[in-house]
Amino acid sequence: MTTPEAQYRTFRFISAISWLLVTSTLAAHAAAGDIVLYASKATRKGTWSLITDSSAAGGSGVRNTDAGGKTVAPALANPANYFELQFPANGMVPYRLWIRGKATGNSINNDSVWVQFSDSVSSAGMPLNRIGTTQGVTVSLQSCTNGVIHNWGWTDNGWCGLGSRMFFQSTGTHTIRVQVREDGFMIDQIVLSPVTYLSTAPGKLSDGSQQPWWSRIILAIKPATSRR
């Protein structure tokens, strides 16, 4: 018969091994340079609002209410409705941009945004898709003609294939701005990946689970008193 003391030692051993596996896995993703941003932490302007949604990553996200507005095109140099996040990234390293979103009513009329950056450049180093200009990257949940969207799903800036990769002029802190293209769109996560998700999405394109497995691990080990 196993004694309580032996059971406790076994529990401690398993906990220690589990912690090592988790931390080594997270370290591997950090080393790969994957950037994971939560839209709920963004600075919001205009019609973007914070939402609580049990099916969203971390239980929350942001939404631009569906008002039946017309598609905004091109991107606006000085939009009234947008949200922004800051993140660290390396200069002249190709990143794949992924957004996890949900269209109101699963409608293709509510499923796209414009994305701009503070210092994005082309692969040749020329300014491209920058905040304060009318250039922008279109990200649409419907990723190809006749594509079906349903609930939360991951998408990039491509159409019927992967989109162009993102480059930044220099290493340091950068700003991403997401502005309205079609109203009625919800977003919970944004990923910029130079390796892990350079050619494959972090999760399902539709009917996705709450978040990628590595995100669930982060939430699981996050102390209750930590700052969000």
* pLDDT level of residue 207 (50, 70, 90 thresholds): confident
Question: Could you tell me the residue ranges of all domains in the chain?
Answer: 1-32, 34-218
CATH topology of domain 34-218: Jelly Rolls (2.60.120)
Peptide bond into 74 cis (omega under 30): yes
Give yes or no for residue 57 having a pLDDT over 50.
Answer: yes
As a whole number of angstroms, the distance between CA 127 and CA 3 comes to 67
Tell me: the pLDDT tens digits for 100-121?
Answer: 999 999 999 999 999 999 999 9
In the DSSP assignment, the letter for residue 188 is: E
pTM beyond 0.85, yes or no? no
Length of the chain in residues, anyone?
Answer: 228
Q: How far is CA 18 from the centre of its chain?
A: 27
Q: Cβ of 93: how many Cβ atoms within 10 Å?
A: 15
- What was the pLDDT predicted at 65? 95
Tokens representing 190 are: 């944004």
Tell me: the pLDDT tens digits for 167-196?
Answer: 999 999 999 999 999 999 999 999 999 999
